[in-house]
Structure 1
Amino acid sequence: MRRNKIVSPGVTSIQRWLKSMMYLPGFVTEYNSQLTLMSKVMTEQEKKYVVLIDEMSIKTCLEYNKSLDFIEGYEDLGHLGRSEKSAKLVLVVTIHGLYNKWKLPFAYFISSTGVTGDQMANIARNSIVKLCEIEFSPSIITCDQGTSNRKMFSLLGGTPENPYTVINSKKIFLMYDIPHLMKSVRNNLLIGNIIILTNEREKKICFNDFRNPVTSGLYKLFDVPSSTVSSTSIL
């Protein structure tokens, strides 16, 4: 940022700004107030949004919050409860405009071993309900293909034939994010072949198909050692 001559605020300034809002795990009431004001000046198309759910590792740290008289760093799932375990993961719920370029954090939850599929389904439902109350229009829930995420989609009623759920009378599509779908295809090709049955013959697709001179760049891109590729090319 400095090389691009972008002047960013100092650490003290950022800390002072953060103190103006009370941030605690779960659904932040102040966010709803700000989103309500935001929705009043938005068109119906601008209100259509995507819910992004992602979980990532964080550093284990216990810290006393003087202004809130509160010890931060323990497992805290907001309305789902708090425990004495040290938190190692954070689940963030973000909303992103479907047609317009806006993105905002909506809620976060910190856990010791990860949020379960049941808890995640509860969080997704509550997120949609709260956003509908302030007149935002949900369209899609998206996440990666983690075990808990797959269970969440199952609990929400999503199937390959009907990849959607209905919450608060709204039809919402359930979708895995594209980069993880591409990685899954790659991984499946590494450990096995894809069989395509046609009227004429059976076709087999494997990772060796990407090793010809035209597409060798894809093979290098994934940095896959040749020892892992043992299947044959298209028959």
Structure 2
Amino acid sequence: MLQFREYKKDKMGRRFTKDEKVLALSLYKRGPRAYRLLRKIFVLPSPITLSRMVSRAGIKPGVNENIFVQLKKRARKMKPDDRLCTLIFDEMALSPHFDYSKKRDDIVGFVNNGHETRNQIADHALVFMIRGISKNYKQPICYTFCSGSTKKDDLAVLIKTLIRKLNSVGFNVLATVCDQGTSNVSAINSLIEQTKMEYVKKGEEMRNATFEIDGNEIIPLYDVPHLLKGIRNNLLTKELHFKIDGVEKVAKWDHITQLYKNNPTYKGIKIIKKLTENHCNPEKIPKMKVKFASQIFSNTVGLNMGYLAGEF
């Protein structure tokens, strides 16, 4: 009906209902390039129109009740296993600047946690989102603006608040996932210590390195990409001592360098073709690229290193 109604109208004279804009927005989020192609075939709202609709949602920093109202409605239609999720959070750097919101008559760019705005320029944003465990979905639920990294006490309070809110609307948070930032580690350790104190008060022993919120056990996890980079960075400057069948062994970065220099070939073809100087030379390694760490610890590199070790 939208196509019949708006087809003969001038582009600037077309009007769309809220439901039509929401449908168009869902298509746009699937793929902006595909949406632009569809607009050449069908009558659809422009990306600017969709952006204006989103801006009117009025999602402010901090815990937004409207999001949790919608999550509660969604949770009622989901199976119990589909409501199992993880709470993911991370900080990202921003270019410090100010924007004036004419609609709200407000200056954006200061530190804001949803409860108060501080007289500091924000240069980071802290974002929380949930990710399904048995069902593949993700939904941002909260964000704040901060200067530097969020303090551990403020972060710990936010984690507890969001987990309680999610549990109250029907979702079941089983774990948290974050990187190994100083504030993140300190906040997680603080929550674990609080749980230990509760166990001590009850005269019980806490066996797991987890924390509890209102009796629900939460498993703190660190994301694998950062763990891989952390292991690689430690191996660059330190040796790894371990035992195999009671025999003590040592792993060090020189072994990776030797493998690269003595890369085995078969009829002129390198066996480990992805191992380059960007993987092995500490001065040329892109420290933020995950693939250069994951490929070092790949099955191909491990098998060839074991083969060469057995030969010598």
Please give the alpha-carbon distance, in whole angstroms, between the structure 1 residues aligned to 2:228 and 2:274: 12
1:203 lines up with 2:239 in the alignment: no
Deviates more, 1:185-194 or 1:12-21: 12-21
- The reply on whether 1:223 has 2:279 as its aligned counterpart is yes
2:221 maps to 1:175? yes
Q: Is the 8 A contact 1:31 1:106 kept in 2?
A: yes
Does 2:189 match 1:133?
A: no
Percentage of pairs with the same residue: 25
Q: Which has the higher strand share?
A: 1
| Equivalent position SS for 2:276 | helix
- Alpha-carbon distance, 1:102 to partner: 0.6
- Kindly indicate whether structure 1 or structure 2 has the higher relative contact order, using CA contacts under 8 Å at least 6 residues apart: 1
Whether 1:146 aligns to 2:146 is no
Q: Could you say which structure has the higher helix fraction?
A: 2
After the TM superposition, which segments of 4 or more aligned residues of structure 1 sit over 6 Å from their partners?
A: none
Residue 51 (str. 1) matches residue 79 (str. 2): no
Cα deviation, residue 227, structure 1: 6.7
After superposing the two structures, state which structure 1 stretch, 216-225 or 147-156, moved more: 216-225
Tell me how many residue pairs correspond in the alignment.
229
CA contact (8 A) 1:210 1:218 kept: no
Whether the 8 Å contact between 1:210 and 1:216 is mirrored in structure 2 is no
Residues 165-200 of structure 1 deviation map (CA, whole Å, 9 limit, x = unaligned): 100221110000011111111011101110114564
Q: How far apart are the structure 1 equivalents of 2:149 and 2:282?
A: 35
TM-score (norm 1): 0.87
> Is residue 169 of structure 2 the alignment partner of residue 113 of structure 1?
no
Q: Which of residues 102, 105, 108 is equivalent to 1:72?
A: 108
Contact conserved, 2:129 with 2:139, CA < 8 A, in 1?
A: yes
Match of 1:34 in 2: 70
RMSD of aligned alpha carbons: 2.8
Computing the radius of gyration over CA atoms, which structure comes out larger, 1 or 2?
A: 2
Of 14-23 and 133-142, deviating more is 14-23
The answer to whether the 8 Å contact 2:236/2:282 transfers is no
For structure 1, the 5+ residue unaligned runs are none
* Kept in 2: contact 1:153–1:174 (CA 8 A): yes
Q: Could you say if the C-alpha distance between residues 14 and 5 of structure 1 is closer, same or farther in structure 2, counting changes exceeding 3 Å?
A: closer
State the one-letter code of the partner of 2:157. N
The alignment partner of 1:108 has SS state of: strand
- Structure 2: gaps of 5 or more residues: 1-30, 40-44, 197-206, 265-270, 285-307
SS state at 1:223 partner: helix
Q: CA–CA distance in 2 between the matches of 1:221 and 1:54?
A: 31
Matched residue type, 2:211: T
Q: Measured at CA, do residues 209 and 218 of structure 1 come closer, stay the same or move farther in structure 2, by a change above 3 Å? A: farther
In structure 2, do the counterparts of structure 1 residues 98 and 189 end up closer, same or farther at CA, with 3 Å as the change threshold?
Answer: same
Q: Distance in 1 between matches of 2:274 and 2:222?
A: 22
CA contact (8 A) 1:39 1:135 kept: yes
Q: What is the rounded CA distance, in whole Å, between the counterparts of 2:243 and 2:153 in structure 1?
A: 38
| Contact 1:21–1:30 (CA under 8 A) maintained in structure 2 | no
Matches within 5 A, 1:85-104: 85-104=120-139
Distance (Å, rounded) in 2 between the aligned partners of 1:153 and 1:222 = 34
CA shift digits 1:120-156 (9 cap, x unpaired): 1111111101111101100110100010111011001
| TM-score after normalising by structure 2 | 0.66
Change (3 A) 1:151 1:219: farther
